[in-house]
Amino acid sequence: DGGITQSPKYLFRKEGQNVTLSCEQNLNHDAMYWYRQDPGQGLRLIYYSQIVNDFQKGDIAEGYSVSREKKESFPLTVTSAQKNPTAFYLCASRSRSPGTFTSTDTQYFGPGTRLTVL
């Protein structure tokens, strides 16, 4: 089955610790995105990557870092510098080449990881 997987589904961390959230896709999509969701605020873009070994900051990148060493993987690290990390984190991907079942303008989302800082 093609899709986007995020692990773990629930994650707990102690204040002051770094934590890495996984995002993997087997859709052969070029572009990948990380969003943060807080109640009543919709989703906000953290980082995005349009090709391997390249990524750009989104609207709320402070306290986060990413890497894009492989096309299928785009891990997000929440560092201790992120002042309010408790949130629901969503990963998305998008094809840059039109196909039978995908279009280049649409992002497809993973199931999300809920991070709680204790």
Partner 1 sequence: AQSVTQLGSHVSVSEGALVLLRCNYSSSVPPYLFWYVQYPNQGLQLLLKYTTGATLVKGINGFEAEFKKSETSFHLTKPSAHMSDAAEYFCAVSLGGAAGNKLTFGGGTRVLVKP
Positions in the binding site for partner 1 (CB under 8 A): 4, 6, 31, 33, 35, 40-45, 48, 50, 56, 58, 88, 90, 92, 94, 104-112, 114
Of 67 and 109, which has the nearer Cβ to partner 1? Answer: 109
CB of 55 to partner 1, least distance (A): 11
Please name the residues in contact with 92: beta carbons below 8 A apart, sequence gap of 6 or more: 4, 32, 33, 34, 35, 107, 108, 109, 110
15 vs 100 by CB, closer to partner 1: 100
Q: Which is nearer to partner 1, 58 or 75 (CB)?
A: 58
Query: Least distance from C-beta 77 to partner 1, angstroms?
Result: 20
Task: Tell me how far, at minimum, the Cβ of 100 lies from partner 1, in Å.
Answer: 16
Element (H, E) at 22: strand 19-25
Cα 71 to Cα 48: distance, rounded to the nearest angstrom: 13
Question: CB 35 → partner 1: shortest distance, Å?
Answer: 8
Distance CA 23, CA 116 (A): 18
